Chain A
């Protein structure tokens, strides 16, 4: 089903910008405002930078001892009555989930947000086998109804205006297309989802953290939708990436203080829920999923990406993401974290993502677990360049540039040629959209009549002493 052509992220970003004067400015404004709230929350904690360092070290410790902590988690969760399964990849995850549902005769499933389940492409798999899957998170449900993936891991529909949502809901759940009040729309979704919670045979969640010490996993939401899904249907299935493991309960103090502040600019999410074994009268299944994580652990340059706690702060701060939107990346994960994760799933398909960045470094600065995101983006560029994934034109121009810059004589000849050329080239050629992307958006700077080097030779020709005349 997946095409193997590279995702043209720059083109798709441009489409997002050009659709009108409403969507992109709104998208940028909301995420910028979220970043300002994040900064205010962080500034209020004198220990903020210390917490980031602690979180980074705890994660690095957990990941460098991952096998021990996973087996400890499994033992403790099992001892508390959970059933723990292991899935090597997305396909196996889906098979396990389906087998559990089938064993219970369940055909109605309600789920909360899980990027891992997105990764596994679980929903279409289950739907093809007669399972009705309802997203309960409002943003995810909006995207599900619209047949789109989420565009942001915390705010899945942040690229849509209220008008877009109103029209979508009118089409799909029968609300008034002219009423775009978010309160009214949210209420409509509440009333639409509630019967599904009550009818569901199973609730599925992801997990933000899994604690080895007690076999507990933690789910943080603002809506409480994960909690309803766990508390009402008799069966709860949790999909957990193996990298979510933390050693001890007290580690959560550090992570919970960082998570919501980083991603949404609030001290905590409304609900931080801790599940240890099944609830009274319920059954709990945990599916631990690898899907490339163990392989990533072995990548010296990139394994730190496994520290990610899926807060979304990198997306909020990234000026390229804010402008171009999350759907442009064409992948489960978008934004800066997406740029460094997606190539591990398909290097060729995502070969252009590492160039969808100015390497400004803001992502690394906001990451609560200090992933060196910006440095990893540059490293991915080296991978893409070495595999000849760069578009031909780019490769040729950099080969020429590299040669010229290594040879001063040629460089000076080029300078002499470039100046007059730019000065005399017809305007239409310089500003042609295809031939000259610079000229599409900007006026071209004038090449100086005298380069610095030429000035230097004229005024400082003793190469160190000022010219006595100047």
Chain B
């Protein structure tokens, strides 16, 4: 099914006789939900764009590339830097903005501006009974009623099918620059990232892979030059500075986990404390790409090491399998939290038809 309007979407869900597999572009899907495919790609287009208020309201099935194109015409962007994991996961498809929200997919700039959920101002969605619900809105400060927009972000279509999302967007910076730090081991290289993030120099990216630490600053030309200079002195190691397109290319690699593309093995996405980042990787003796100053680890492992990964992360974060078959996809919840999640699922989707079988 591919509804073209929110009303058709509501009708499709209300009239469904069995499970529905909710899909934007199918590029970020995890797990093994089953059912008749319900595509949101028909709900496409910009509802409202007000560059002077940094506000964008867009239908959930709009391709991410289209959103980015519209914003670029006004020299603006989605601040949270949408990752494209198609190459990593060997997927094809047109990523939709609703899918980005449903996965709360956020890239390197998360350390500075927060995740997709932090840029999300409001949602419209159809719940499992086919009822249209709106929450939040288009203004930047809004505490009217409960924040269901946050609940929908990252819920992977298990509570409702998004029909419209609104965002706070960001003006493009005048310039960007990346310090490339070489000559440090992983422990020291990660420490350099933490030192930069603990400085007042407003870091918009802090990553490490292939023996290099990357630190990004963005903004007005004078400011970027100033901060680059101060950071060079602060982090140590052999520093070179890449600017503009050369800098942007470095961050696309990190954002899209390019170094693991086409490589055999399973890929884990680990959320942890930056200070635990080196140790977890050392303990698992696997290849890593660190982002968010070490708070995010992309880990390439052999098949079947799920239990080891879970043990290494236990008590200091959580791990999700994003490519491979080596264990449960999502980390387990505590029984109390699982009961709350089950309670919400039962009320938002009483028939249990939305992405049935997906437990997050």
Q: Answer whether A and B are interacting partners.
A: no
Interface residues of A (CB under 8 A from B): none
Interface residues of B (CB under 8 A from A): none
